[in-house]
Every structure is written in structure tokens, then in C-alpha cells.
Amino acid sequence: MAQKIRANMDIYPIRLQAYMAKCGVGSRRACEELIKQGRVMVNNKIIREMGVKVEKDDVVQVDTETIEPAEELHYIALNKPRGYVCTNYDPNETKYARDLIDIRDNNLLFNVGRLDKDSNGLIIFTNDGDFANKMMHPRYEVEKEYIVKLDRPVEMDDLARALKGIYIDIPKPYRIKRYDLMPRTREFVRITLIEGKNREIRKIFSFLGYNVKALTRIRIGCVELDELKPGEWRDLTREEISGLLSGSNEGERRPRRRIRVESNDNRN
């Protein structure tokens, strides 16, 4: 059952993008993009500039749909199965990760960060835009930890290159923060990132000549995948929420458990 955290409703006047975030539209950055695109109206007037403030009685619409602040805030950890997408709408997709979370207001939830369709593991959903905004801010340096299965044993020189940083398709380097070799085989490697660019791990290993057979995220900051099975979800604890907001990367001290890696060896 979802943990109920009451939202602070004494917020007016409030900047439009902050209001939208509190309505579960997305992070403040995502809401600012919607405003720039002319998809937001206040009292039937399209707003494109930043800095506009709204009052309690103002009517705010996104894509002609009226939005209101959520009365309850949700912070949820989901073990996303491979084959599900994190976007909330794509005309070419039918399996949405958000639909696995069976709470009344799941239509207000959005994912914090990405996990691509071919990957599985831990992802956080919330309807708290302020929380999402802080979580994704670079100064918090929230770690993301993955188990990666490769098509052949990894070479130590390649991991050293990934630590140093590799320029692939953008002016900034793709870089891992840390790696740990898994016991008994070098086809499995535990990788830790901070920034987490789009498909960063896959691009790094592809550039180095490997095929990623499976990729499972097992930790975000202080939150661990632990015993969640694919498709299962749970509420974050208050301690985990506070830890994420404080930039903690230390989970609860417990023995490492065996993590199920969803492999698809038939994929090119």
C-alpha cells in the first residue's frame, strides 16, 4: 500500500513551473520546456515566458487538460522489467513501466531519470516535481550502480579507458566512476555512474567493441533494488527519501544478494 505523505498546500503565489511540478507534470526543468513550447495556459492564456506566478484560484492547463496540485506525495521504487518503457506516452509502445504501479493516482507519477527499454532494474517514480528536480541536479552526484553482462570477458585496459573518459558522439566524455569485477567471471562487471547520460553504459562498451547482453540497475544513491522482483514496487522509506535529498550514496548495510539479470542473447 502506498505511503501517504501530505503535500504542503500553503504555496501561493507560486511560479508556474513549480506549480506544474507539484501537480505531477514532471520536474521543473521538464515543466519549463512545456512552457517554452507553448503547451501551457493560465486562465485561457498561453504562457511562454518564465517567471509567471499563479494564485490558488487560477486555472492552469497543459495540452488543454486542467491540472491541480497533488494532495498526497508518492515516492516509489520499481523493478522495471525489460521490454517496458519509462516514458508516459509513446504511440509506438504498449508496455509502460508506470502502469505496473497500482495506486489510484498512478497517472500523476513520472520517472526520475531514465532506464531504457532493453534494460531492467531499479527506477524511482514520484509525483513530487521538487524532489525530482533535486534528484537530477548535478551537484547532488547521486550514484547509479549497474550489473552489466558482456558478450566476452572485459579487458582491464578497456575499463581504465572508461574510468578516464571516452569521447564518442558529444563534446563531453562518457565516463564511469567505479567498477568491480564479479566473482569467477569477467563477463559480468559492476559499474557505477554519476551523471548517467542517455544509454551511457551501452555506448561506452559498444565503442570499446563489446555487446551488452544484459544491463540491470541495482542501486540509486542510498536506495537498493534488493529483493524486488521484476514488476514489483514498494514505497521508499522516509529515511531513503531524506538520504536521496542529502546526496547519500550509502544504502542500509546488508550482505550483497544475488541479483537476477534479465538476458536476451538473441538481440543483436
Burial class (CB within 10 angstroms; exposed 0-12, middle 13-18, buried 19+) of 187: middle
Smallest CA-to-CA distance from 77 within 213, 221, 232, 204 is with 232
- Characterize the bridge pairing of strands 60-62 and 65-67: antiparallel
What type of residue sits at position 32?
E
C-alpha cell at 58: 487560477
Q: Is there a contact between 142 and 247 (Cβ–Cβ < 8 Å)? A: yes
Active site residue 128: no
- Spot the catalytic one: 105, 116, 118, 130: 116
| Cell 531524506 belongs to residue | 242
| Cell 514520484 belongs to residue | 126
Cα–Cα distance, 36 to 241 (Å, whole number): 31
Q: Is there a contact between 34 and 25 (Cβ–Cβ < 8 Å)? A: yes
C-alpha cell at 50: 518564465
Q: Is there a contact between 41 and 60 (Cβ–Cβ < 8 Å)? A: yes
User: Kind and range of the H or E element at 234?
Assistant: strand 233-235
Smallest CA-to-CA distance from 59 within 71, 47, 68, 49 is with 68
Tell me which residues are annotated as active site. Answer: 116
